[in-house]
Amino acid sequence: MLRQIRNTSLKTISTGIVVITSVELTTKLPSEGRSSQLYHNFTDQVVTPLMRRVLNPEDAHNTALYFLQKGLAPTFRQNSLEASSKVDLSIQTKDGLTFPSCIGLAAGFDKDGVAIQNLMDLGFGFVEIGSVTPRPQPGNPKPRMFRLLEDGGIINRFGFNSVGADAVEDNLKAFREKEKEELKDNRGKRKTEGKGDDADGDNAATLLNSSSKILVSVFKSTWSFFFPPISPQPRSLLGVNLGKNKTSTKETEDYEIGIEKLGKYADYLVINISSPNTPGLRNLQQNEPIRRLLKVGIQKRDELPRDSSGKRPPLFVKIAPDLDNSEMEDIAKAVIELGIDGMLVTNTSNQRPSTLISDNSIEAGGLSGSPIRETSTECIRKMYKLTNGNVFIIGIGGVGTGREAFEKLAAGASLVQIYSRMTYEGPGVVSRIRKELSEILLQNGHREVIDAVGLDHPDIYWDKKMSRAKKSLENEKVFTDF
């Protein structure tokens, strides 16, 4: 008897999962249930490991991108701390650009900007596309991406494979136009929200008896429990990472073209001079070349049209983790003196730690993921100190948990990007990192991300905290006087 009940229950549950998953995959109605824990578990614990087992790394990457384009990936699963505003993961630049969450996607996943909104829906506060080169180029020969399973890392030598700036511009233009349409639709919905509700309720009351109402209510409650509706999220930001064609012989021209052509679509721009897979590119990190490039980059950025708030996109530069102390000092001085808005620290590494055990560790290319986490965090720590905390830093390298994100913030990063660890953890890692980071912030007595930035530097940290407190008091006084 018990066995029969158990078998019947298992069949019912299995059938239910198949039916629900089929409905969600084919229609995404009526609940947008891709934010549910069930859907997250399915993609992270079944789909992701399966793809890793049967597909080579680049094919798995392209398949994941295809799933995203088709709207089959999970969406952000909101945590209670953020939902109740007990913790705020947003942060602002000096010029007032607000990132709705400090957790973003690094460049390299969506090189051509084909799945921007779907990536944002995963829970990223900002998505960076690219690197984009002015002219199309195929990149290096395949295979060019390798998993280091035992080490939790990846080596790639893609070599800036890109469809080119013209094709990417078409993608970005389509994204922005769709974004405007959705914004207009949402405004229209808010205007009509609530109108006629009472009348509809009266009509419904005449058609439904009390028992029917109860059944509908139970069904809705049950459905919402398994597939919670997605709460509206603030608009995520778009970053555009600019690269250089392999055959280009001019120092700054490719970046000028990228800024001019794509800058008007970006919330921020990144000059990438640190990829290890384009010959000679990292030479641009030397003192004189980087100054010439950044100076021209600022001039080109300043020629862009202003947005509706009267601002232009901030300009950042992305550096390597393999710089020596003198090179880091030169870059820090150049960034401060030329007025660059921020730095991305760091790109992939040419170095191979002695702790690596994977057979693929001998492959040429840039190493990313867990093996470079501590190295990148130390680079952030050094750059924060060299700039006295006055340059906005985006930290990258080996982040896959809320604790690892917190370490990057404490070292001096204001934002954190992920990519490689998503290969191992699945797309649901974004929601998990945000949840874990929210919990860690609160456990350490912080309600805002800014209160964790630079904790490893007590002298700088407390000066900045006092400065923010003083500014807040001044603003309150102005408001009171008014």
The structure tokens listed for 464 are 């900045």
Active site residue 275: yes
The structure tokens listed for 462 are 């407390």
Distance between CA atoms of 430 and 330, rounded to whole angstroms?
35
Distance between CA atoms of 132 and 257, rounded to whole angstroms?
11
From 275, 349, 361, 420, active-site residue: 275
Active site residues per annotation: 275
